[in-house]
Structure 1
Amino acid sequence: MRTTTLGPGGPEVGVIGLGCMGMSYAYDMAAARDEDTYVSVIRTALDLGVTLIDTADVYGPFTNEELVGRALSGRYRDRAVLATKVGALSRDEQGKPVRAENGRPDHIRRSIDESLQRLGTDHVDLYQLHRVDPEVPIEESVGALAETVAAGKARAIGLSEVDVEQIKRAQTVHPIASVQCELSLWTRDWMHDVLPYCQEQNIAFLPYSPLGRGFLTGRFTSVDDLPQDDVRRRMPRFQQDAFQQNLAMVDRVREIAERIDVTPAQVALAWVLAQGQYVIPIPGTKTPKYLRDNAGAADIQLSESDLEALNALPAPHGGRGN
């Protein structure tokens, strides 16, 4: 696979990474988890050159880091650029489900040690603030992240779901290696400000959900195709009326894919890759088939006319959810 780096001075990675969230969290939660297959997918990713492996403590919670740690045990750890995140919560202290942020320095200091234990490693290559805590100045959260670098527990730090002003404030405390935001043909919110700023500052940009949470692959023709216990069923763009209108976008992607003899997913990922040298999408998958399909997008160069046609696609119907 072609490679790039996490910014000019960062580690070398494949131009496509692997997001591991769906192996443990959010999607199709009623289905049995085949962890042996997921371990195989992560290790096969490394064989294909997909070396940026992304997880977070909130996925599960905690079980995804344990899974990734199992997959990267032994000789596999040195082959991966391992990224995890801190600062998003799915349970409160009593164990009740919540959606909240915790960017307090004491939480970050404690969480890095817990993440390292679950991951079975003495350091992560990238430690990211998953969400900005509105109750904590970002400078304080980033200061605690910087402490993990000084202690050798992280090699670099990144941010997720931030605006330009927040990035600038974070940069006054410590260099920021990466920014992770949702980016795909149907989520282009950050292309007008955050992405250009990252390019100006040589900050790697890590698009999550680059396949529109699976929508752009063309596998779904109705909301009824989604598993019952799946977070996407609650997202505005996956509601039936919006879903049906958004299928026109998939039709256009499919037309291009059929003409150049690739898959719709590969067209969607190739468009993301075309957005910049340090733009490294991290599509998630649980199956070897789709892993290889995603990795194959690294070799696809879309023509200028195809890029223009994709750029001209209208905004999707419905909000993106979060």
Structure 2
Amino acid sequence: MTVLERNQTLVIEFLLLGFGDLHNLRIPLFIIFLIIHIMALTSNVLVIMLVVANQSLHSPMYFFLSQLSLSEILFTSNIVPSMLWLILIGSGRLSVDRCISQFLLLAIPSVTQCLLLAGMSYDRYVAICKPLHYAIIVTFGQQLQIVLSCWLVGFTLSLVVYIYLKQLTFCGLNIINHFFCDIAPLIRLSCSDTYFVEMVTAAVSFPVLLSPFMFIVVTYISIIKAILKIPSNTGRKKTFSTCSSHLIIVCMYYGTLSSIYIFPPKENSVDANKSLSLLYTLVTPLFNPLVYSLRNQDIRAAIQKSLKIMALCKLICSSH
């Protein structure tokens, strides 16, 4: 223990300021955010149920999509309930262990999503650039292996950072001007040597963000080249529409992540950081399934089929 640590009281809990004093906006914001959260959870659960229940959606692309929805459910369930509680009460306290654990449960689905998006781009690359070999290359065993690898890598890398965070000592200030426990304020509030945890975080973060993104860029360059070679304009539009939803999600997801972690706002721009984090934790989980549902003919057909089955079951039950 350093001299600084001995002269200061050890911190056993953090004070999360949330969104500060919202005055009369507290209840309206709580209701709006709660509705968005419920819609996000419902839509992501619906995507998983549709993929499982409909034979027409038993393909690699929709299997990856269901895993993306699962990661969104885990992510929002970890962050949003505590955020809603902070809005109601103004601020809240979390123990150091619980705060670091919240970061772990935030990091695992975040890392996994980056890798899943890369896996989805690989699926689109094979489907468009090598259509005759698609069934041979993208087998069920391979897609299962890719998905399991994404979750395993996400868990392992997040756990490594978590272990280093657990070794930090916190003393003196215990105020986090945010609505969840992110890694930057945890490192900033620590009174022990943070060199190794910063190095490990950098070593993990940049490859996790940049490597999948560069892979996606390379695959889409090949995809666009293949699409441009299609002779008919209708064929080009139809082929591009099969991967446009994925491309929209990639742009939004990596755009918000880069804004928060690679090119973060200045330290005095706390409100900007909160706004970006709010977009990342609340809006994106709702946006992903909506994009696929509204732009994907197979998903829309599966929803219509499910609604017809439900209506038929209701009719049969009411007749008895």
TM-score by length of structure 1 reads 0.23
Q: Looking at secondary structure, tell me which structure has more strand per residue.
A: 1
Q: Name the structure, 1 or 2, with higher relative contact order (CA <8 Å, separation 6+).
A: 2
TM-score by length of structure 2 reads 0.23
Which structure: larger Rg?
Answer: 2
